[in-house]
Amino acid sequence: METIDVQVAVIGAGFGGLTTATLLAKAGLQVAVVEQNNYPGGCASSYKRKGYWFETGATTLVGLDQDMPLRYLFEELDLQIPLLRLEIPMQVRLPNGTLLTRFQTLELWIQEAERVFGAPGQRAFWETCYQISQRVWRTSLRQKSFPFSSWSDVWQAAKALEMEQLSLPPLAFKSMKDLLSQHGLLQNKTFIAFLDQQLLITAQSKHTEVNVLFGATALCYTMYGNYYMPGGLRQLSNHLVRYLEQHQGQMLYRRQVRQIIPKAKREGYTIFTEKGTITAYYLVCNLPLNNLQQLFESAQLRKKLATYILPAHKVNGAFTWGVVFERSGTTPAVFHHQLHVPGGVPFIGSESIFVSLSHPLDEERAPKGICVAAVSTHVHHPEATWITQKKELERWLVQFLVEQQFFTQEQVRFVQAATPGAWIEWTGREWGQVGGYPQYLNVKPWQMKDARLDGDKAYLCGDTVYPGQGIPGVCLSGIIAADKLLRDHF
């Protein structure tokens, strides 16, 4: 059994953890990332099957525009990562068969929304949402001390305060339903159905449940730069891993953490894994709060975390499919699609599926002439919704995508489904929870768990702490964790 001693241990190689690890390594700290799997990336990674690379979870990459987290990270680390910018971020097919395009340009999108849903209220609604999203992103990196958990945080926030930031807190008390009502859109049932499925992608909740601050920002992610990562999103994490290893850091794979015990006299932490122990002076946990609570013996810390933990009926799991098929003249040119499912997905009841296609020139994921599709749908209350009908759902998906003209039955080479149970095996996340915590109206941003775990030398990042889910969100959480650790101790 091995014993490893490091200055900083980061538990979990999700994108939030890797963000924190690389920023701390840049600051000169000795960092080791402890990961239970064979690959980095967590819910934004890829796996190989039958010679093809499939995305595990996240498939869309945003956050590289001005004032956004990935741009900040890449500039801080001086990373040059090859990315392909998408001309059209997404297309959506409604239950009645209508196809609409989520253009990136605000004006083009408003024209499209007016064409499909009617003109009344659309322009004012989307202009308002876009303006809010811009203010949110501008504020997020200027207020890295938020949420506050020390007087130092308050002082840092006061120094960075700008007038436009004062307009944001009131939006946390207003629901998207209120905003829709303000623009006369609540009676537009077709639009509301579309909007709710869009919100599920990035906010994990619907218009009645999410506040305007998060909801407007979530709805506008297609209005910023959307990118395709050649080779799959695993490559994004691989770039951060290389940076870490070039700066005296190390990756410790296939080490599942069993227990974390603070050392005496506040001299760090002992981390127990099945391969031995790791001692670290500083600790960063890139784990869901539900999992994290189980690793500490301290009743006081468990009680503190319990305040922030959501139960199973408040979170989502995912049912996913991987499909390999031969390209043809009818293969969609747009890579990302949300398809509404009339009557719902069998056995699950979800109302839409999300389909992401590989780039035709991306021969790292599939040979020329072959397309790899990653398909997913939400599974509400994953603890209670245990799905066993994998073969039936594989047949259903192929037939559904044939009807949507993605391919013909004869073009399909391979299809494989995975239940939330696969997410438990892949990531270890309780109940197979994915996508982070949904954004609920009753949980204000300042009530979310901040980056400090125990008030000593342990910190948090990931999609269940502020600011929440999505690659930009977990990247921001990693930036904040690194910033607070460095400010507290160096």
Instruction: Provide DSSP, 331-372.
Output: S-SSSEEEEE-TT--TTT--SEEEEEE--TT-TTTS-TTEEE
Which helix (DSSP H) or strand (DSSP E) does residue 46 occupy?
A: strand 46-49
Which pLDDT does position 97 carry in this prediction?
94
* Residue 440 neighbours by CB distance under 10 Å: 16
Distances (CA, A) of 71 to 47, 77, 81, 207, 226: 26, 10, 11, 29, 13
Which pLDDT does position 266 carry in this prediction?
85
Complete domains list, the chain, with CATH? 2-50+71-82+229-310+438-489 (3.50.50.60), 105-224 (no CATH), 312-432 (3.30.9)
The structure tokens listed for 439 are 């954004």
Residue pair 463/437 in contact by the 8 Å Cβ criterion: yes
The C-alpha atoms of residue 59 and residue 335 are separated, in whole angstroms, by: 10
The structure tokens listed for 110 are 């408003």
Longest CA–CA span in the chain (Å) reads: 68
Which pLDDT does position 207 carry in this prediction?
97
The tens place of each residue's pLDDT in the chain, 490 residues long, gives 788 999 999 999 999 999 999 999 999 999 999 999 888 988 888 888 889 998 887 788 999 999 999 999 999 999 999 999 999 999 999 999 999 999 999 999 999 999 999 999 999 999 999 999 999 999 999 999 999 999 999 999 999 999 999 999 999 999 999 999 999 999 999 999 999 999 999 899 999 999 999 999 999 999 999 999 999 999 999 999 999 999 999 999 999 999 999 998 889 999 999 899 999 999 999 999 999 988 998 888 888 999 999 999 999 999 999 999 999 998 999 999 999 999 999 999 999 999 999 999 999 999 999 999 999 999 999 888 889 999 999 999 999 999 999 999 999 999 999 888 887 887 888 888 888 899 999 999 999 999 999 999 999 999 999 999 899 999 999 999 999 999 999 9
Which helix (DSSP H) or strand (DSSP E) does residue 9 occupy?
A: strand 2-11
Helices (H), 315-355: none
Which pLDDT does position 60 carry in this prediction?
85
Which pLDDT does position 56 carry in this prediction?
81
Residue pair 231/53 in contact by the 8 Å Cβ criterion: yes
Which helix (DSSP H) or strand (DSSP E) does residue 182 occupy?
A: helix 176-182
